[in-house]
Chains A and B, each alone.
Chain A
């Protein structure tokens, strides 16, 4: 009945399975969504989508399949703030070039050229733009969009690396079995588990009890704390610049580690662990944390000697 819809969802790489499809058909059979498109939409969403990060993708597919709309243009237009361009230009230009700006017709003219170049690049590498479109919803969405270093930087260096990076991303989009990679990493990470007995003693220690009872001559119960994975993981990701080609691998590592460890904290940094790290790459300029704040509590095992480094305003 809705096979096309189901297949379209699969094609959009939503993790829907046959079982969920059958549930939907069964639900339709009972007449829950009686003759209302809205209700059908709610019902199918509730049956087929199991993660809020997929809701957006689902909405797109639903709109395409049931309203007969054209598929959305690949790559939504992303406005590049003027401020970025200015910053990039400031950093990328040498003193001589800055002097040249004057002869070229001043700052505004330069901005125009820069903008034009950016637009050209976007036109040429649609795969990349598509990647930006979906990156926002991925759990590792932090690998957002990084105009400096790649686009403009490469443009100046003329080593054409930018093309390769974008191509790689396109490949990533076609790649259907990321899960395989993640799964392998998961299995590997499992070896890092360190089982320890700590906390409240609430499990009967059978060998201990037998031993103690034999020694004392009466029943002497021995308890031990339960065995669980005591590894606490602090993960730092290097983002931007030279790390761009490794986005896929990092993404896999991240999703595997997140599923495997109970205590996992992650932060991002750029180039080297300097004084500040951040949680959300899109807000890296406004929301950062002092690296000390992260490392100190981790080293002291908890909040025992937590020291606050005052954040500058």
Chain B
């Protein structure tokens, strides 16, 4: 029986996520993770690798990334140059095949975790181009006429920020999990995991402020979990007493060190305006 993933001491995992991860690990299918930015999608892959004690291979997708780059690249330019210089290496085409991330994962000694990060950043055709490779876990190298087959099927974790819809054929082959924004209780556990021994009152007040900000209508960018953690770190570093946060009567305009939470000029304006209105009503 394989090891099961049950979260780590630095990552709080909800039960539904746990089931999804274990299903993907056991059935050797890719796990597609979606969710608001900053809910720990990328970290999940790191933590799975850590919990199972296997290496992590990361493939970060950019708008220019091609599916082929994950398999291998043929460096024709280097070969041309070598041929001009009369290098002996030029006779073996294998010298100019550069391995991609997928190839690395396929030929790894132990079963690795392969993270394909932000797959929606790439071109629309990108997921389709990887269908067969992720399904069969093998591909053909045309230059050397060899077929690379996975020794063990890597645990594939794919993250998406929902910027583009993924093709149905691709989705059919994946397990899917949508990381919901954590509720207050989960959030407290997350904070406790990251800052053990933090003042309880500070956490309580900070979370109140945090969820209030998230509830403000018309926010351009809502603060996320990772931003909350950054903010708490700042509050700790600056040694802000909990009382400062507890201005529930709306006397303060905007929470201290708000730069960590509000990343948008318009959001700050909006928040100031609301706080101002709130204060005027209160007085």
CA distance A45 to B17 in the complex (A): 11
CA distance A23 to B177 in the complex (A): 15
Contact A30 B26 (CB under 8 A): yes
CA distance A30 to B4 in the complex (A): 13
Verify if A287 is at the interface (C-beta below 8 Å from B): yes
B34 touches which of A19, A52, A219, A258 (Cβ 8 Å): A52
Kindly supply a per-residue 1/0 record for chain B positions 27-65, scoring 1 wherever the CB is within 8 Å of any chain A CB and 0 otherwise: 101001010000000000000000000000000000010
A23-B29 contact given A38-B15, A286-B217, A287-B218, CB 8 Å threshold:
yes
CB closest chain-A residue, reference B76: A204
CA distance A15 to B273 in the complex (A): 44
Verify if B161 is at the interface (C-beta below 8 Å from A): no
- Say how far A313's CB is from chain B's closest CB, in angstroms: 7
CB closest chain-B residue, reference A206: B76
Kindly supply a per-residue 1/0 record for chain A positions 202-217, scoring 1 wherever the CB is within 8 Å of any chain B CB and 0 otherwise: 1010000000000000
Verify if A32 is at the interface (C-beta below 8 Å from B): yes
A27-B27 contact given A49-B176, A52-B34, A262-B124, CB 8 Å threshold:
yes
Interface centre among B77, B84, B124, B175 (most CB of A within 10 A): B175
A50 touches which of B81, B123, B164, B176 (Cβ 8 Å): B176
CA distance A32 to B26 in the complex (A): 8
CA distance A55 to B179 in the complex (A): 12
CA distance A143 to B269 in the complex (A): 30
Contact B164 A33 (CB under 8 A): no
Verify if A10 is at the interface (C-beta below 8 Å from B): no
Kindly supply a per-residue 1/0 record for chain A positions 275-307, scoring 1 wherever the CB is within 8 Å of any chain B CB and 0 otherwise: 000000001001100000000000000000000
CA distance A283 to B177 in the complex (A): 28
Contact A46 B27 (CB under 8 A): no
Contact B16 A17 (CB under 8 A): no
Verify if B20 is at the interface (C-beta below 8 Å from A): yes
Contact A15 B77 (CB under 8 A): no
CA distance A133 to B217 in the complex (A): 23
Instruction: Give the chain B neighbours of A313 by CB distance below 8 A.
Output: 273
Interface centre among A26, A51, A228 (most CB of B within 10 A): A51
A50-B32 contact given A27-B27, A221-B77, CB 8 Å threshold:
yes
User: Which A residues from 40 to 93 make CB contacts under 8 A with B?
Assistant: 42-43, 45-47, 49-52, 55
Interface centre among B77, B165, B176, B218 (most CB of A within 10 A): B176
CA distance A99 to B273 in the complex (A): 40
Instruction: Give the chain B neighbours of A258 by CB distance below 8 A.
Output: 165
Contact B171 A47 (CB under 8 A): no
B19 touches which of A26, A32, A55, A286 (Cβ 8 Å): A32
CA distance A228 to B123 in the complex (A): 9
CA distance A286 to B165 in the complex (A): 28
Verify if A272 is at the interface (C-beta below 8 Å from B): no
Q: Can you list 7 pairs linking A and B with CB atoms under 8 Å apart?
A: A23-B29, A26-B27, A27-B26, A46-B16, A51-B176, A259-B165, A287-B218
CB-based closest 7 A-B pairs: A50-B171, A42-B19, A46-B20, A42-B16, A52-B178, A50-B176, A46-B175
Not counting A47-B23, A283-B217, a sample of 8 additional A-B residue pairs whose C-beta atoms are within 8 angstroms of each other reads A33-B19, A43-B20, A45-B16, A50-B32, A50-B172, A50-B176, A219-B81, A219-B84
- Please list the residues of chain A having a beta carbon within 8 angstroms of any beta carbon in chain B: 15, 17, 19-20, 23, 26-27, 30, 32-33, 38-39, 42-43, 45-47, 49-52, 55, 199-200, 202, 204, 219, 221, 226, 228, 258-260, 262, 283, 286-287, 313
